[in-house]
Structure 1
Amino acid sequence: MNLIAPLGHALWMAFAMLWEILWPLILGFGLSAVVQAVVSKSEMTRLLPDDSPRSLAIACGLGAASSSCSYAAVALARSIFRKGANFTAALAFQLASTNLVAELTIIIIVLMGWQFAAAEFVGGPLMVVLMALLLKRFLSRELVAQARTQANKGLKGKMEGHAEMDMSVTEGSLWQRVTSNDGFTATSHYFVMDWAAVWKDIAGGLLIAGAVAAWVPPDFWKEFFLVSHPVAAK
């Protein structure tokens, strides 16, 4: 049985997908790196003192501009929580880091259209609101204290080094921070670290997607999503 042709087709499909999403990834990681370079961890902590709507909105904004790596999001949320940020706001930041992040939004627009990106920006904040309401109703101070005690143990995870590292520039105006030598250095380091955090996930996802696109016939997906069903297809 000749496997070279099917494998080649799958790899070509994976490469085609990579080519299509490469510039959104570069742009998204670049924007994220700039924000991380000018907003320090201590400043993030100061901006998230409680679970008020303002703090949750800021948490969503910071999360959307942060690393899209779920490991890094969890580690960074724990880091700012340890430094004094509100628990609910830290979780809102974590949710936004994986659901509202800039590079994901750009990719959704490129691959699926602005309507899906708009749905993401409706669904993401809605999840944060529901989470905040549930935590306000069921989360006790004792549980938060236990969580802080556990976080303060400093148990090392995969991305703890990323979360604890703070190369942000804090002196000068926003433009001066971005355009300074230190700002360029910090931006480049954050850019590389974000790529290093997720490249395995991206590569694995592209290989799987390429194999599925090459080896699974279109008729399967029509049946799977009930395209011909008289009721479900409507």
Structure 2
Amino acid sequence: MPVIDAVLDWLATSGAMAWEILWPLVLGFALSGAVQAVVRREQVTGLLSGDSPRPLAWATGLGAASSSCSYASVALARSLFRKGASLTAAMAFEIASTNLVLELGLILWLLMGWRFTLAEFVGGPLMIVVVAVLFRMFVSRRIQDAAREQADRGLAGSMEGHAAMDMSVQSEGGLWCRLFSRAGLDSVASYFVMDWASVLRDIVIGVLIAGAFAAWVPTDWLHTFFLDGHGLAAQVWGPVVGPVVAMLSFVCSVGNVPLAAVLWNGGISFGGVVSFLFADLIIVPIIVIYRKYYGTAAAVRITGLFYLAMVAAGYVVELLFAVLHLTPTSRSATVVGAQVSWDYTTWLNIVFLGLATFLLVHFTRNGGWPMLSEMGGEPASQDSSSDHSGHGQHGH
């Protein structure tokens, strides 16, 4: 039957996509967990006061070492804002923690090529700079004070529990000493599992939507919609419509990379791909969370200014890469038509699934599952003196 064949085609394409991105996800989250395990939350917050270049640079660097889940990053940005970080620095941290993380770069490189990875890591800092300038122009002190008052009311989002948990190693010693200690391994395993739990839904939804696009949407229609072949018109249209497609697809975090690959194969401009990838922070559910966290006035400005910054970053990257002759011309992203076979991807997946299993078993043996139940709300306090792993307290 045609309907059954269409569904099977969709599921097969989605499954092949998931298989392609598995090992870089495991690697990225393992490295992210290691960084989070040795960087203490109170040290981070003390560096993010103000909106001068120094705290914004710290926010960018520390965000890049943090979680890539859009919902968790939004909740964590609010937590930092409540603890004294400026709103601009909190937003910079949020942008970096979803768009400048290692796992995203690895998947972009694998599915779309190194030029897209470079574009992401060039465009991300550009977007942060534009956001900082726009915030100074359009977000008054009165709005920021009202946003802080709203943030302090304790309205929780879907990932507030995850963002509030500080499981970094509290013992003394150098970075490597803390990382390879028993407490360090406990902390890495906890961050790894909880980051996976927070982002898994986004990845599954993203892969399913990308699979549906690849299997069901005619390529000719996409090329027409994105004005492919119309030169300057396509380059102008791509960054404008890219974030809109992201907002309506509800795809966020790493889950938007497979869909970006489909859109690229479908004719969207290079700058349009860049702006699309950044737009995971203005999908409709997250806009609703902004309103809960910071109030309507701040949410409207955050959403609008983010959109303008995404479009601007797309234009600048498009122009810069054209001048440097780095704009990709081949529209053959690996994700479309990918098949599971015995190649390097399969062997790497086996190796990194072994690593994931080791960390999951370690997490389970240390009684970590109750922490997952806390991710949907305010976490229960835990006395560090009774924590044999030395993670420290789950702070608010």
Q: Same fold (TM over 0.5)?
A: yes
- TM-score, normalized by length of structure 1? 0.92
Q: Deviations over 1:199-225 (max 9, x none)?
A: 111111111222222223433344444
Structure 1 residues 77 and 232: alpha-carbon distance in aligned structure 2, compared to 1, 3 A threshold? closer
Q: Tell me how far apart the structure 1 counterparts of residues 229 and 80 of structure 2 sit (CA, whole Å).
A: 50
The answer for the alignment partner of 1:193 in structure 2 is 194
Shift, 1:173, TM fit: 0.6
Letter in 2 for 1:10: W
Give aligned pairs, total.
Answer: 234
Which deviates the most, 201-210 or 140-149? Answer: 140-149
Structure 2 counterparts to residues 135-150 of structure 1, below 5 A: 135-150=135-150
The answer for the alignment partner of 2:119 in structure 1 is 119
- Asked if 1:202 corresponds to 2:203, the answer is yes
Structure 1 residues 210 and 138: alpha-carbon distance in aligned structure 2, compared to 1, 3 A threshold? closer
The answer for the alignment partner of 1:88 in structure 2 is 88
> Which runs of structure 1 show a deviation greater than 6 angstroms over 4 or more consecutive aligned residues?
none
Letter in 2 for 1:185: D
Structure 1 residues 215 and 172: alpha-carbon distance in aligned structure 2, compared to 1, 3 A threshold? same
Q: Tell me how far apart the structure 1 counterparts of residues 115 and 122 of structure 2 sit (CA, whole Å).
A: 11
Structure 1 residues 188 and 135: alpha-carbon distance in aligned structure 2, compared to 1, 3 A threshold? same
Shift, 1:230, TM fit: 7.6
Q: Tell me how far apart the structure 2 counterparts of residues 79 and 65 of structure 1 sit (CA, whole Å).
A: 17
Letter in 1 for 2:177: Q
Shift, 1:232, TM fit: 5.7
Shift, 1:226, TM fit: 4.2
Shift, 1:233, TM fit: 7.5
Structure 1 residues 7 and 86: alpha-carbon distance in aligned structure 2, compared to 1, 3 A threshold? same
Structure 1 residues 10 and 29: alpha-carbon distance in aligned structure 2, compared to 1, 3 A threshold? same
Letter in 2 for 1:172: G
Structure 1 residues 230 and 99: alpha-carbon distance in aligned structure 2, compared to 1, 3 A threshold? closer
- Asked if 1:177 corresponds to 2:178, the answer is yes
Letter in 1 for 2:179: V
Q: Tell me how far apart the structure 2 counterparts of residues 182 and 118 of structure 1 sit (CA, whole Å).
A: 35
Q: Tell me how far apart the structure 2 counterparts of residues 24 and 45 of structure 1 sit (CA, whole Å).
A: 29
Asked whether the equivalents of residues 42 and 80 of structure 1 are also in contact (C-alpha less than 8 Å), the reply is no
Higher normalized contact order (CA 8 Å, seq sep 6+, divided by chain length): 1
- TM-score, normalized by length of structure 2? 0.56
Shift, 1:5, TM fit: 2.4
The answer for the alignment partner of 1:72 in structure 2 is 72
Letter in 2 for 1:25: L
In the alignment, structure 1 segments of 5+ residues that lack a partner are: none
TM-align CA RMSD: 2.0
- Asked if 1:216 corresponds to 2:217, the answer is yes
Q: Tell me how far apart the structure 1 counterparts of residues 55 and 232 of structure 2 sit (CA, whole Å).
A: 44
Letter in 1 for 2:211: G
